[in-house]
Amino acid sequence: MGGPLGAIIGRHPAAAGGGGEDELGGGGGGGGGGDGIIRHNRRCRDLAFLVLFAAFWVAMIVNSSFGFNQGNPLRLTYELDYKGNICGSRHGDPDLHELDVRYWMNPNQVYQSGVKDNKINLADAKAICLMECPIPAADGLNFVCDYPEGDIRLSVDDWINRDYDYFEFLTPDMRNSSLQLQGPCYPVIFPSVNVYWSCQFIARASNVSLKHWQQMGGINIDENILIDKTIHKAINSKSSVLKRYVADIGKSWPVLIVCGGLLPLFLSVIWLLLIRYFVAAMPWITVVLFNALVISVTMFCYIKAGWLGNDPLTVVIGESDPYVHITGREISHLHAATVVMTVVMIIAFLSSIAIIRRILIATPVLKVAAKVIGEVQALIIFPVVPYFILAIFYMFWFSATLHLFSSGQVLRNDCNTDCCSYDLKLGKVNCDNCCGYSMHYTPHIGIAILFHLFGCYWATQFFIACSSTVIAGSVASYYWARGEISHDIPFVTVVSSLKRLLRYSLGSVAIGSLVVSAVEWVRFILECLRRKLKLVDSARESCFGKMTSSSSQCCLGCIDWTLKSVNRNAYIMIAITGKGFFKASVLATGLIMNNILRIGKVNVIGDVILFLGKLCVSLFCALFAFLMLDTHKYKSAHNKISSPLVPVVVSWALGFIVAKLFFQVVEMSIDTIILSFCQDAEEHQGNAQYAPPLLMETLDEQSELQRLTQGP
């Protein structure tokens, strides 16, 4: 073990003359006046990784600056017209700030783009931006005409007021061109509905409008169902769905602030206070509340999936024909999430039954943590510091995310189609500008997004690790003070532990958080590769291949869990000894292995109860997010979200992170006390000298509790 730790962190006379900036003035009692609680000749550790972390932050800022410079979040919600303008943008030509729905003017182009081996793509079909999707006239024929310019002396407002129809003002040449479906005016033959700000054609032509069109001498219009499927396929492409999901985050930012920030803060503090004053009842309350919340969230998923009640998710924005049924990928994803939540609900219920007999083991160790929180009172307040740091970081990160995902370039397509349309500026039919515009994403944008996502995970792990280390240092000070509390300990221990972290151990924390983040991302990348290989070669996938894939994922999951456990204990030893990350990991692992039978069950059951507590907070945030998103604000007009799934999942994740920040006060208190106890016992031939009386009673009770709970 590299020598006793008591001489480093305890109140032995050898530590009395240490002094220095990292000395915590101790007071009260024990081994001689002036003894320090934590006193050690520390020095900065793992500086190379601290430099790496600083370089990472510089890269994050540069990467985000690229997104802020090139991106436009409007691109995530609204589409492009045939001129490359973003619908709903004030900076288009013309000004389109009121015109946010994309409408394809030529129905034959839409049909042809869906025919196999046809050169024309839907992205090249002529589309303009309107206020709402047009519908056929009940007793005549409506037209939708191009943006007014050239010889058409109408303002955009007049054009809108005329329902985009100025057919009566056309010259004979323009009318003849329009009857050939070459513009500038096109007939409204098919009804359409607003599906995520694009007009989805319904392949049900108006007989009245079609008859008037034919009487005017218009060319034949294809009425195939393909006109419906082509647009539906484009709206539900994977890239379009991903953009809508990211846009949902931007639209639901009030929900994220309330359910991902303020609500978990309030619930976590309440939970800590309940642990402090009602520790015996909290394990039972936590288990019951966890099951109730899992059931509630699952029921909301059933409602939104349309499997329960009459309020399913709809893809249509605004009112539509009740007989028109349009589905999307978002609904399929919600169905999948509902199935997953059902499985989770069943597993949660069965697991709760399994651990009921073990809850008695968790109660004594939680009492020890409650005792520490009561003595070192600043521990309840301290998590607010990393909470606000993370809140500022997440606001910056989410804003950068919206811009990065929308940072592609708007470029004209490279097409070889033969099509013509009337150019109002030139005053004639032009066959040279058939290609439309699309968003083009270069490979470096994908790399920038992946780096941005990895950066969020590493930064989150880093701040949580810093908080854990400060808490561990504070609790260690309490333990090695023999439980003798001076007037300094309740608050100064936390401040001193924070100073030691900032001065000596940031590099060690940086490498610990990097290791966990790297393993998580290796798992993510391997899972993506596995999915792609499965799609490519699903028919020939052997049993051996399936077994290898599953076992590799299982092994990586075990490695990830082990690393997180080792890291948590390493942070404790870093706080206590000031060692570097790898040396601290060795010390912590050695202590645990030497005392695994003594502390294993106590620690595991305590961790389970704390994990359920975090899930309770995060599930309550998810449930409240469902309730907020179920209001009229997020179900209509411009604030309508494509699906509650992503905002709810993000609220759950943020709630879990906030709960983790606060719950680790209890978690790290338990782990630090137990590790300190193990080291204390090793230094004193199996009899811990510095352990508080309550801890001694708790660990002595374990054999009796195990006999009571396990039976004969």
- The 3-state secondary structure of 87-102, one letter per residue: CCCCCCCCCCCCCCEE
DSSP helix/strand/coil, 42: coil
CA distance 112 to 637: 31
Those residues with Cβ within 8 angstroms of residue 562's Cβ, 6 or more apart along the chain or in another chain: none
CA distance 471 to 294: 31
Q: In this prediction, what percent of the chain has a pLDDT beyond 70? A: 81
Q: Which two tokens stand for residue 41?
A: 């000749």
Q: Contact, 304 vs 635, CB < 8 A?
A: no
DSSP for 20-85 reads STTPPP--SSSSSTT--SS--------HHHHHHHHHHHHHHHHHHHHHHHH--THHHH--B-TTSP
pLDDT tens digits for range 344-403: 999 999 988 888 777 766 677 777 778 788 777 788 888 999 999 999 999 999 999 999
Query: Can you give the pLDDT at residue 25?
Result: 37
DSSP helix/strand/coil, 572: helix
CA distance 401 to 406: 9
Q: Bigger pLDDT: 298 or 591?
A: 298
In degrees and rounded to multiples of 5, residue 200 shows phi and psi of -85, 115
| Verdict on whether the full-model pTM lies above 0.75 | yes
DSSP for 388-401 reads HHHHHHHHHHHHHH
In degrees and rounded to multiples of 5, residue 117 shows phi and psi of 65, 15
Those residues with Cβ within 8 angstroms of residue 235's Cβ, 6 or more apart along the chain or in another chain: 195, 196, 198, 200, 328
Mean pLDDT of the chain: 81
Q: Bigger pLDDT: 621 or 537?
A: 621
Which residues share a beta bridge with 102? Answer: 129, 198
Lowest mean pLDDT of 409-413, 510-514, 594-598, name the range.
594-598
Residue 347: CB atoms within 10 Å = 11
Those residues with Cβ within 8 angstroms of residue 470's Cβ, 6 or more apart along the chain or in another chain: 382, 494, 497, 498, 501, 575
Query: Can you give the pLDDT at residue 419?
Result: 77
H/E element, 441: none
- Respond yes or no on whether the N-terminal peptide bond of residue 184 is cis (omega within 30° of 0): yes
Q: Which two tokens stand for residue 615?
A: 């899930």
Among the residues of 356-420, which ranges form H helices? 359-375, 378-381, 384-405
Q: Which two tokens stand for residue 442?
A: 């270069």
Residue 87: CB atoms within 10 Å = 25
CA distance 115 to 119: 9
Q: Which of 673, 675, 666, 680 is nearest to 593 (CA)?
A: 675
Query: Can you give the pLDDT at residue 28?
Result: 35
pLDDT tens digits for range 514-551: 888 887 777 777 766 666 665 545 444 556 556 666 66
Those residues with Cβ within 8 angstroms of residue 225's Cβ, 6 or more apart along the chain or in another chain: 203
